[in-house]
Structure 1
Amino acid sequence: MSEKNPSISEAESHVMEVLWRAPAPVVAEQIVVALAETRRWQAATVKTLLNRLLNKGAIAAEKDGRRFLYQAVLQRDAWLARESASMLQRLFGGRLAPLVAHFGSQQTLSPEDVQALRKLIDRFDHEQ
């Protein structure tokens, strides 16, 4: 993985989601509070994840008195694009149609989903 687009674990992604949603840099305690309901992680766990993300270059930290302010460096869109492409390649050989067919067979597609897929196919047809 390049430093510009580091590999992020599932646990680290939860911390990143908090940082991506934050309108400004946040302290570790704010991340602990934001994750308290869904993760119930101790502050030490969050700080460990923050240090891993810092070492990977996914986030930046700025000293503010006796604490650090954290913010995302890795853009969510870049991470999502890489993760999506990796999953598609790994599970469906890089082909989109089998992915859509799989999800369509596993759960009912709403009329809105079907319409969105038709629009997407039409757009691809016009681009080629």
Structure 2
Amino acid sequence: MISNARPITDAESQVMAVLWQHAPRSSEEIVAALGETTDWHEKTIRTLLNRLLGKAAVSAERDGRRYLYRPLLTREQWQSSESRNLLDRVFGGRVAPLLAHFSTHEKLSKRDIAELRALIDAIDAKER
């Protein structure tokens, strides 16, 4: 898993999303996929790929005259790290203040509330 000292940036996470969707991919395929949602130049995307290689978030395997990239960091690992960082940074590492914030500042749907209740019930049952 990626080190906390070198987190994935927002831009890098967009490159990762392309690879999580389908891998392996060549840099040309990644550039084409990101060209649909960003106005980044090819050099920018290649720089992001090199940064991700340096962070051991992706691997590159030679395939003839090109490299094929695949994620080493899973989406679940990234989500866990990002969630933990947000909780620690903004809410003192606690989930309850996060939920309190959203219940006060965001409209929670009935479905959201039902899912939260079910989750709390499952956690409660597990701890008994």
Displacement of 1:50 in angstroms is 0.6
**Alignment size in residue pairs:** 124
Provide the residue aligned with 1:56 in structure 2: 55
Unaligned runs of 5+ in 2: none
Displacement of 1:119 in angstroms is 0.4
Give the secondary structure class of the aligned counterpart of 1:70: strand
Which whole-Å deviations, capped at 9, do the CAs of 1:40-73 have from their partners, x for residues lacking one?
1111111111111111111111111111111001
Query: Normalised by the size of structure 1, how large is the TM-score?
Result: 0.91
Residues in 2 aligned to 1:87 and 1:100: alpha-carbon distance in whole angstroms: 13
Which whole-Å deviations, capped at 9, do the CAs of 1:15-49 have from their partners, x for residues lacking one?
01111111x31011111111113221111111111
Q: Determine whether 1:5 maps to 2:2.
A: yes
AA of the residue aligned to 1:17: A
Provide the residue aligned with 2:40 in structure 1: 41
Residues in 1 aligned to 2:95 and 2:53: alpha-carbon distance in whole angstroms: 34
Query: Normalised by the size of structure 2, how large is the TM-score?
Result: 0.91
AA of the residue aligned to 1:115: A
Unaligned runs of 5+ in 1: none
Provide the residue aligned with 1:18 in structure 2: 18
Q: Which runs of 4+ in 1 moved over 3 A?
A: none
What are the residue-to-residue correspondences of 1:1-128 with 2, within 5 Å?
4-6=1-3, 7-22=7-22, 24-128=23-127
Identity rate, percent? 51
Residues in 2 aligned to 1:49 and 1:99: alpha-carbon distance in whole angstroms: 31
| Root mean square deviation of aligned Cα | 1.1
Displacement of 1:113 in angstroms is 0.3
Displacement of 1:102 in angstroms is 0.8
AA of the residue aligned to 1:11: A
Residues in 1 aligned to 2:47 and 2:35: alpha-carbon distance in whole angstroms: 16
Q: Is the 8 A contact 2:87 2:98 kept in 1?
A: yes
Residues in 1 aligned to 2:35 and 2:2: alpha-carbon distance in whole angstroms: 27
Displacement of 1:89 in angstroms is 1.1
